[in-house]
Amino acid sequence: MATQNQPSTGEQEAEQAVRDYQIVQEQLRSAALQINQLQAQKAEFDRAKAEVSGADGRIYLTVGGVIVETSKEKALSDLKEKLELSEFRSSSLKKQYDELKAKEKALGEKLTRMYKQSQG
């Protein structure tokens, strides 16, 4: 039997479930932010690809803070690789986000059940 200073096993379980729920929500916010950043990055790569594709003159790119001249083909190849990597990372993050969303839902349902049980 729990004393006034020590929570019961049910209360401890509820507190842990609340902490878990809060952690999952923070992970969801973080994943959503990363997904948005990757989408912005992909849009930037798409714009760059369009610019390079339509360019007739010299092509320059930034490498480690230094601007160097490159061929149109090399620039397009580099952008294609960056786009593929960005899409892969975005896909992985979306999968992680979906898994976290399911975990959040399950924890929310668990908390609801625990609350209803505590109410009678």
What are the residues facing 60 on neighbouring strands?
A: 69
User: Span 93-106, mean pLDDT?
Assistant: 96
Q: What is the pLDDT of residue 63?
A: 85
Phi, psi of 3 (to 5 degrees): -85, 175
Say yes or no to pLDDT of 13 above 60.
yes
- 18-61: pLDDT as tens digits: 999 999 999 999 999 999 999 999 999 999 999 999 998 899 98
Q: Give 29 or 7, the one with higher predicted confidence.
A: 29
The packing angle between helices 72-118 and 9-54, to 10°, is 160
**Contact (CB, 8 A) for 28 and 104:** yes
pLDDT band at 11 (very low <50, low <70, confident <90, very high): confident
Integer angstrom CA distances of residue 54 from 41, 47, 51, 70? 20, 11, 5, 15
Q: How many CB atoms lie within 10 A of CB 69?
A: 10
* CA atoms of 93 and 32, how far apart (whole Å): 8
DSSP 7: -
Whether 119 shows a pLDDT value over 90: the answer reads: no
Domains and CATH numbers, the chain: 17-118 (1.10.287.370)
Q: Sign of torsion, CA 26 37 35 77?
A: negative
**Average pLDDT in the chain:** 91
pTM of the model: 0.77
**What is the predicted pLDDT for the residue at 5?**
64
Helix (H, G, I), strand (E, B) or coil at 62: strand
